[in-house]
A = this chain, B = another copy of it.
Amino acid sequence: MSVDRLIEAIEAKKNPTVLGLDPQPEHIPPAVMEKYVAERGRTLDALCGAYEEYVTALTDALHDAVPAVKLQSACFEALGPGGMEVLQRGVRFARERGLYVIIDAKRGDIGSTAKAYSAAFLGRVALGETLLPVFDADAVTVNPYLGSDNLVPFLKDCEAYDKMIFVLCKTSNRSSADVQELMAGDRPLYRVVAEQVSRTGRHLAGRYGYLNAAIVAGATMPAAIRQLRQNHPELFFLMPGYGTQGGRGVDVAYAFDRQGRGAVVNNSRGICCAWQKDPSAAYTDAAREAALAMRDDLRKAIL
Q: Which residues of A contact B (CB under 8 A)?
A: 22, 24-25, 37, 42-44, 46-47, 72, 74-75, 77-82, 84-85, 88, 106-114, 116-117, 119-120, 125-128, 130, 132, 134-135, 143-150, 168, 171-180, 182-185, 189, 192-193, 196, 240
Contact status B184-A74, CB under 8 Å: no
Query: CA–CA, A116 to B268, complex, Å?
Result: 15
Nearest B residue to A144 via CB reads B179
Query: CA–CA, A106 to B116, complex, Å?
Result: 14
Contact status B184-A125, CB under 8 Å: no
Contact status B80-A120, CB under 8 Å: yes
Query: CA–CA, A144 to B145, complex, Å?
Result: 8
A-B residue pairs in contact (CB < 8 Å), sample of 30:
A24-B112, A25-B128, A44-B132, A47-B127, A72-B113, A74-B109, A74-B116, A75-B113, A75-B116, A77-B116, A77-B117, A79-B125, A79-B134, A80-B84, A80-B88, A81-B85, A106-B108, A108-B108, A108-B143, A108-B145, A110-B173, A111-B173, A144-B179, A145-B179, A146-B173, A147-B176, A147-B177, A149-B175, A182-B182, A182-B189
User: Hey, which chain B residues are within 8 Å of A128, CB to CB?
Assistant: 25, 42
User: Hey, which chain B residues are within 8 Å of A47, CB to CB?
Assistant: 125, 127
A134 and B84 contact, Cβ closer than 8 Å, known pairs A179-B192, A189-B182: no
Query: CA–CA, A185 to B183, complex, Å?
Result: 7
Q: Smallest CB–CB gap between A176 and chain B, Å?
A: 6
Query: CA–CA, A38 to B132, complex, Å?
Result: 17
User: Hey, which chain B residues are within 8 Å of A75, CB to CB?
Assistant: 113, 116
- Give the contacting residue for A145; candidates B145, B184, B185; CB below 8 A: B145
Contact status A175-B192, CB under 8 Å: no
Contact status A120-B189, CB under 8 Å: no
A107 and B106 contact, Cβ closer than 8 Å, known pairs A120-B80, A149-B174: yes
